[in-house]
Amino acid sequence: MTCRRPMPWIHAGSALAAALLIACSPEAAAPETSAEPAPVSQDAPAGQDAPAPETAPEPAPAEAAQPTGGEAVAGSDIAVRFAVLGDAEPKPCALFPGVEAAVLDVNALAQAGRIDFVLGVGDLAHKGTEIQYENVTPALQSLTAPFYPIMGNEEHGDTVERYLEFAGQWNPEVTEVSYTLERGPVTFVMASPDFSRQFSDEGIDWILEQVRAAAPRPVFLVVHSAQMGVYSAEPDKGVENPRFLEIVAEPNLAAVISGDLHMDMNRVEHSLEIDGVHYLHIPGLERTKIPDETTHTPMFRVFTITNEGEVLVDTYETGVSGPLERHAYSFSLSDGAR
């Protein structure tokens, strides 16, 4: 199979898109004609001009779209705002149009308002091959906000050393496969799987140690896959170690952010609360698998945490201005005090 790079993405609302819309419209294509003089009314008295024809009133200008979700929060009320990119691992060709489009949109959001950092939930490089790493790297390096990734089962198709080599190119701060970040009122536990999408007992112990050390600060756990049974669209796929339930039982664990399932957010339940923990799925950028592979719409999510502890989760379709209201989700950090 010959893989050809697709044409550059043209974003709705961009100057290029507007120019193309004008150039391709029937009005633009119609040939210019000279205006004919208006006919003189036969009823007008000699020597007088005919009355000017009545014109319809100009329509009122359309109201500008009002910001929704996290975009409606005033900058001074924001404690932290971050974007999350989902799985990529394209096949059969190592091309990343979805990642590239999402990066452009995230950078535009950062320029227009605020994005403090960007998280990745793993599975960027299919089978961890060098060509996949090499081809996704330019897009990730072009992010204007720091990028903090974890591994997925695909990166475990090759060595941890290869993953860290490229992760260091995306962000020199990333020197370990698992680590923690303190941003705003939240501690982020970035936990790469020990193998495939799974955690050994040692990996479970490390996560528990980080969550407990962060208390009473709320914790967002970022993993490639949540535990089995969370998402009804694919209940048999996820972390199998039963001790993962010890982690989600910790009273300061507020949310679990994961990818792996490549779910079509338009057709599945993607955000839910179970026993006081909020589970947020991040959809795949290059491929959709669940409930089937018939439709793929690249999307990413943006989290806004306010000074009052409210968490607003917005979902963006690449190339589309503004968040998708149908996928909005929100909760309060105080909900996690259980």
Does residue 256 sit in helix, strand or coil? strand
Q: ∠ CA 269-282-110 to the nearest 5 degrees?
A: 130
pLDDT, mean over the chain: 86
How far is Cα 219 from Cα 250, in angstroms, rounded to an integer? Answer: 10
Inform me whether the pLDDT recorded for 93 exceeds 50.
yes
Name the pLDDT band for 334 (thresholds 50, 70, 90): confident
Tell me the sheet residues that pair with 258: 281
Domains by residue range for the chain, with CATH: 69-336 (3.60.21.10)
pLDDT tens by residue, 265-278: 999 999 999 999 99
Q: Centre a 10 Å sphere on the Cβ of residue 161 and count the other Cβ atoms it contains.
A: 7
- Whether a cis peptide bond, with omega within 30° of 0, leads into 92 is yes
| Encoded tokens for 318 | 């690449």
pTM (2 d.p.): 0.82
pLDDT tens by residue, 183-242: 999 999 999 999 999 999 999 999 999 999 999 999 999 999 999 999 999 999 999 999
